[in-house]
Amino acid sequence: MKHLLKLLDLSSEEIFKILDLADKLKYERKHGIAHKRLEGKIMGLIFEKSSTRTRTSFETGIFQLGGHALSLNVSDMQIRRGEPVEDTARVLSRYIDGIMIRTSSQSEIEALAEFGSIPVINGLTDFAHPCQVLADLMTIREYKGRLEGLNMCYIGDGNNMANSLIVAGLKTGMNVRVACPKGFEPAQTVLEFTKQYGEKFTLTTEPKDAAKNADVVLTDVWASMGQEHEREQRVRAFEGKYQVNDELLSYANEGCMVQHCLPAHKGEEITACVFEKHSDEIFDEAENRLHAQKAVMVLLLEDK
Ligand code: CP
Ligand code: NVA
């Protein structure tokens, strides 16, 4: 593994290796065992979109590993004044040891990885959110003791979260059921990928069908960052049907978990009541961003 650009690039073994190391780093952190495995390494954190969790967990994570974070706002960089991404990649590779980037374009981060000589980590694009989904897998495994054979259900927009969850769920042996309104399906490349999994993947417009016998239900906002101008149209498409609420969860298995990447729009994709009932699981999920990303940074940067 040279980069973390999307989970489609990773084997099941690589995903489980990240999760196992994340568990170990979490244990060590909780027990006061220092693990400065990236002493002196510098991560550049490039943000083009808002962030609470990603920024804080990456900065904290690299510090805990003995390294440093350099926060860069993409609008202050020459890349947004026309400097080619291939030149930006080659320059940054001369100064720092790794890049985490949050931006819209998946192809831009793929180009950074191609032309630079340091690891690139996707901190969210319009296509994928692999760091979040690694934390989700880690949390599900903590609560359920395994991933293989579980029924994962995603309700809502076929967005970056849906794309990454589908790939991650199938690669780790889960059955994945997704309910999206017509016209809001996951990316075509992801749907192509699911074909090799046959009946282990289902796409429907009926949330109740997707939630039946679920062990974990996940959701995300109806309008992602950058889609604010589509908000009204999206509310019309999702409202009254694509919501994680008590009634929907009555179709799920006993002890079904609920996960939300956050930030949540309570009253839209999830009710406040369900959110609070499952808040331990949801905030453990948020915490696990830290541990999962530390594992990714160690695997990509250590001994390099
Ligand atoms: N879930 C997530 O990525 O949160 P932030 O947007 O706050 O980073
Ligand atoms: N789908 C959301 C996830 C935020 C963490 C977005 O892209 O805004």
> Distance of alpha carbon 295 from its chain centroid, rounded?
14
Whole-number pLDDT of residue 298:
98
Residue 141, token pair as written in the block: 């495994």
Average pLDDT of the chain to the nearest whole number:
98
E-only strand ranges, the chain: 42-47, 68-73, 98-102, 120-122, 151-155, 175-179, 201-204, 216-219, 257-260
Distance 51 CA to ligand 1 centre (A): 5
**125 Cβ closer than 6 Å to some ligand 1 atom:** no
What is the total residue count of the chain?
304
**271 Cβ closer than 6 Å to some ligand 1 atom:** no
Q: Which of 299, 286, 17, 289 is nearest to 131 (CA)?
A: 289
Whole-number pLDDT of residue 263:
98
Non-local CB neighbours of 6 within 8 Å, separated by 6+ positions: 106, 122, 127, 128, 130, 164, 167
E-only strand ranges, 103-222: 120-122, 151-155, 175-179, 201-204, 216-219
Whole-number pLDDT of residue 251:
98
Half-sphere exposure in the Cβ direction for 7 (13 Å, CA)? 31
Q: Would 7-129+287-301 and 132-285 be classified into the same CATH topology?
A: yes
Q: What is the mean pLDDT of residues 192-209?
A: 98
d(CA 143, CA 164): 20
Q: Read off the pLDDT of residues 52-76 as tens digits, 9 standing for 90 and up.
A: 999 999 999 999 999 999 999 998 9
Q: Name the architecture of domain 132-285.
A: 3-Layer(aba) Sandwich (3.40)
E-only strand ranges, 67-150: 68-73, 98-102, 120-122
Just list the catalytic residues. Answer: 102, 129, 132, 220, 261, 289
Whether pTM > 0.85 for this model: the answer is yes
**159 Cβ closer than 6 Å to some ligand 2 atom:** yes
Q: Name the architecture of domain 7-129+287-301.
A: 3-Layer(aba) Sandwich (3.40)
Domain boundaries, the chain: 7-129+287-301, 132-285
Distance 158 CA to ligand 2 centre (A): 11
| 225 alpha carbon, closest ligand | 2
pLDDT at 32 over 90: yes
Burial of 11 (0-12, 13-18, 19+ CB in 10 A): exposed
Whole-number pLDDT of residue 254:
98
The percent of residues above 90 in pLDDT, for the chain, comes to: 98
Whole-number pLDDT of residue 111:
98
Q: Which atom of ligand 2 is nearest to the CA of 225?
A: 8
Residue 14: how many CB atoms within 10 A of its CB? 15
Q: Read off the pLDDT of residues 34-54 as tens digits, 9 standing for 90 and up.
A: 999 999 999 999 999 999 999
Whole-number pLDDT of residue 304:
83
Residue whose Cα lies nearest atom 6 of ligand 1: it is: 51
Q: Read off the pLDDT of residues 144-154 as tens digits, 9 standing for 90 and up.
A: 999 999 999 99
Q: Read off the pLDDT of residues 90-137 as tens digits, 9 standing for 90 and up.
A: 999 999 999 999 999 999 999 999 999 999 999 999 999 999 999 999
**223 Cβ closer than 6 Å to some ligand 2 atom:** no
Q: What is the mean pLDDT of residues 171-190?
A: 98
Cα radius of gyration (the chain): 19
pLDDT at 262 over 90: yes
Q: Read off the pLDDT of residues 265-294 as tens digits, 9 standing for 90 and up.
A: 999 999 999 999 999 999 999 999 999 999
